[in-house]
């Protein structure tokens, strides 16, 4: 499917061209380009800095200059007509969309608008939509009876250009809402409801709302307790800085691993405080590779495996360093913690099991506490009990679930006998 991004607005309210505004370290239009799933992307622009940003970032798109942005976004859409032949995604360049929007792409029977009720939208500024039986019956900022808000995300039929052409021949300024309203009257426009968030950047406070969406996308529901309440506060700030540079998530994984190696070496030489601090910094940076991958849509199966492998080596090196620096009395607690530390990742990969108390961020934070407190044996025992206890609990839970599934299968098949 093709895509058109309308980015020719003048941005008078913001005092700046909105698609080039930085949100979490990168331009707004880059957020859209990194997530949009299209074979051919057309960007209609007016500000000459937009092509500069796009070429610098290495995106391959078709750029269409709009010399008359005051003629409205309907006119901007019309300028893309020569480069689109099939159904296409149409998005506003001054909107930030949650990534789930870009999983909604489908081939509709008619032009379709995604609508929703995000709490981040100002009703006074939003374009309202009235729907009935899954179809739009009215759209506009001024309507008083409405059901949802226009998200600014459309799946369009090429026939939309014919409606744009008719209106442009009749009036100088044409809005997209006017074009959609014309299609509603003649052939109808479908409405597809989404629960995802989006923001139309109109005022400075909207930038804060956009960052909320980004931060929500960057965090994970399976975060451990330390990641959720401590590490993310630091890793998100680091990721914001890293996003400005040409750094890959895998390179960040390597940085985190190197810090873990130095932590293990430092522990091996008996410096608990520095070793503990390095382990915690490594843990924080370990969250940045995933954040950067999600921010720039650079997620890959290889990256996930690469990060997991480095984490296991890092865990081994850190605890091995602790064991090496102490006498034989610490060998049993150390091995107990080491064996347990290697199990949660396997359970997660094999059975999709996750326990926030046994996650890597918790283990490394405990090692940090050990480093600054000097309580080596107690902390190693705590890590061992948490991890190995978590393994036993997960096996019990898995066995119970498997047994229940097995009995269910027998019960269902018995009437056939």
pLDDT tens digit string along 56-91? 888 999 999 999 999 999 999 999 999 998 999 999
Q: Please state the three-class secondary structure of the chain as a single string.
A: CEEEEEECCCCCCCCCCHHHCEECCEEHHHHHHHHCCCCEEEEEECCCHHHHHHHHHCCCCEEEECCCHHHCHHHHHHHCHHHCCCCEEEEECCEEECHHHHHCCCCCCCCEEEEECCCCCCCCCCCEEEEECCEEEEEECCCCCCCEEEEEEEEECCCHHHHHHHHHHHCCCCCHHHHHHHHHHHCCCEEEECCCCEEECCCHHHHHHHHHHHHHHHCCCCCCHHHHHHHHHHHHHHHHHHCCCCCCHHHHHHHHHHHHHHHHHHHHCCCHHHHHHHHHHHHHHHHHHHHHHHHCCCCCHHHHHHHHHHHHHHHHHHHHHHHHCCCHHHHHHHHHHHHHHHHHHHHHHHHCCCCCCCCHHHHHHHHHHHHHHCCHHHHHHHHHHHHHHHHHHHHHHHHHHHHHHHHHHHHHHHHHC
Evaluate if residue 216 carries a pLDDT over 60: yes
pLDDT confidence of residue 349: 65
Query: 0.75 cut: is pTM over it?
Result: yes
Evaluate if residue 199 carries a pLDDT over 50: yes
Q: Which domains does the chain have, with CATH numbers?
A: 2-209 (3.90.550.10), 220-408 (1.20.120.1760)
Evaluate if residue 344 carries a pLDDT over 80: no
pLDDT confidence of residue 410: 42
pLDDT tens digit string along 364-416? 999 999 999 999 999 999 999 988 888 787 777 777 776 655 544 444 333 33
Mean pLDDT for 145-165 is 94
């Amino acid at each position: 499917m093709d895509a058109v991004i309308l980015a020719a607005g003048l941005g008078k309210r913001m005092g700046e061209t909105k698609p080039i505004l930085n949100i979490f370290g990168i331009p707004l239009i880059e957020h859209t380009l990194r997530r949009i799933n299209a074979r051919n992307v057309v960007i209609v622009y007016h500000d000459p800095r937009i092509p500069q940003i796009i070429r610098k970032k290495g995106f391959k798109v078709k750029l269409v200059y709009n010399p008359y942005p005051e003629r409205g976004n309907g006119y901007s859409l019309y300028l893309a007509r020569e480069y689109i032949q099939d159904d296409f995604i149409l998005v506003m360049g001054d909107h930030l969309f949650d990534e789930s929007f870009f999983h909604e792409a489908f081939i509709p029977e008619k032009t379709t608008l995604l609508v929703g009720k995000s709490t981040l939208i100002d009703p006074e500024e939003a374009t309202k939509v009235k729907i009935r039986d899954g179809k739009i019956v009215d759209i506009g900022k001024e309507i008083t009876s409405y059901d949802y808000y226009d998200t600014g995300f459309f799946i369009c039929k090429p026939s939309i250009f014919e409606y744009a052409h008719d209106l442009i021949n009749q009036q100088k300024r044409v809005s997209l809402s006017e074009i959609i309203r014309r299609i509603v009257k003649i052939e109808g426009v479908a409405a597809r409801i989404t629960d995802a968030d989006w923001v139309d950047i109109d005022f400075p406070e909207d930038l804060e709302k956009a960052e909320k969406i980004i931060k929500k996308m960057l965090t994970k529901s399976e975060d451990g307790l330390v990641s959720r309440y401590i590490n993310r506060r630091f890793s998100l700030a680091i990721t914001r800085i890293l996003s400005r540079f040409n750094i890959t998530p895998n390179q960040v994984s390597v940085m985190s691993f190197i810090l873990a190696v130095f932590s293990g070496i430092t522990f091996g030489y008996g410096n608990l405080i520095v070793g503990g601090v390095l382990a915690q910094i490594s843990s924080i940076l370990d969250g940045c590779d995933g954040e950067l991958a999600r921010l720039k849509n650079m997620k890959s199966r290889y990256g996930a495996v690469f990060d997991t492998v480095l984490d296991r080596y890092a865990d081994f090196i850190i605890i091995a360093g602790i064991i090496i620096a102490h006498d034989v009395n610490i060998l049993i607690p150390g091995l107990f913690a080491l064996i347990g530390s290697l199990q949660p990742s396997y359970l997660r990969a094999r059975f999709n099991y996750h326990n926030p108390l046994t996650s890597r961020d918790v283990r490394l934070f405990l090692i940090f506490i050990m480093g600054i407190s000097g309580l080596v044996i107690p902390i190693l025992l705590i890590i061992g009990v948490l991890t190995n206890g978590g393994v036993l609990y997960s096996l019990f839970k898995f066995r119970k679930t498997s047994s229940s599934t097995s009995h269910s299968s027998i019960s269902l098949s018995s009437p056939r006998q």
